[in-house]
Amino acid sequence: MNVIVCVKQIPDPALPGALDGATNTLKRDGKLILDDSDAYGVEMALQLVDAAGGGEVSIISMAPNGETAGMRTALAMGAAKGILVSDPALQGSDALTTAKVLAAAAQRLGGADLIIAATESSDGYTGTVPEQMAEVLGLPSVTFAKKVKIDGGVLKADRQTEEGYDEVECALPALISVTAGVVEPRYPSFKGIMAAKSKPVEEVTASDLGVTPAGWAGAGQKVTLVAQAEARQAGEIVEDDGESFGKIVAFLENLKVI
């Protein structure tokens, strides 16, 4: 069983986000790390390959500046190899172009029994790339999977819905997006971190993949205005002196909700 995991390397979410002044797209020029939400997909892939008793996990990622630090984290967890699509022409690409690029990278690896992505990234959170990729590759998909197993060559997943969840069966090959918390991601061991340094990561450009990079200019959208939203003001802040619950009661009374 071979599994491909799509990962995104993002600016540290602890740092405040910023827009590129020229294009009004998200700035991604600093140090990039593995998006937390992708660690779940990597872990799930490792567990599925393990359960199948053979195969390997590959990582694909797209980043404008040749950054591989986040991919190395995934390799340190146990993935075997990776493809990084790095091309200045891809800077500011929209979700559709990203999906086409990642789909082409998956094909360069010869496809897989299963492709896994997170439901959305923690920086741009458009949330459409996995399903767009499935459509580009002509694959069935199960998005928002919160429980996944392979049983007799069939994927069985619990898929999050507004009211609860659906049990879904899906033929392979397929693509799934997994929610945070679907499995507990392992921490890379020291041995894993050392081994990851020598694992192969092929760096390719969009044209190597036969994709015409549209970049921001080709996105069919243009940011025309960036404005500050009206900020919500802080109200009364009090230190609890043992009686502050009374403040809450009075507040609720004043609103006539109790």
Stretch that binds other proteins, among 49-57, 75-83, 105-113, 164-172 (CB under 8 A): 164-172
The residue among 75 and 150 lying less far from other proteins, judged by its C-beta, is 150
Smallest separation (angstroms) from other proteins to the CB of 81: 26
CA distances from 157 to 6, 7, 69, 113, 148 (A): 19, 21, 31, 15, 4
Cα(219)–Cα(145) distance, integer angstroms = 29
Shorter beta-carbon distance to other proteins: residue 80 or 180: 180
User: Which residues in 228-247 contact other proteins (CB under 8 A)?
Assistant: 228-229, 231-232, 234-240, 242, 244-247
Residue 166 engages other proteins in binding (rule: CB under 8 A): yes
Token pair recorded at residue 40? 């779940």
Residues 1-20 touching other proteins, rule: CB under 8 A, are: 16-17, 19
DSSP state of 206: T
Provide the token pair at 182. Answer: 């679907």
Q: By CB under 8 A, what part of segment 193-212 binds other proteins?
A: none
* 111 touches other proteins by CB under 8 A: no
- Give the Cβ contact number of residue 118 at 10 Å: 26
CA angle, 129 then 134 then 170, to 5°: 125
The owner of tokens 């996990």 is 57
Q: Check: CB of residue 95 under 8 Å from CB of residue 73.
A: no
Cβ 136 to other proteins shortest distance, Å:
6
Give yes or no for residue 86 binding other proteins (CB under 8 A): no
Residue 178 touches other proteins, criterion: CB under 8 A: no
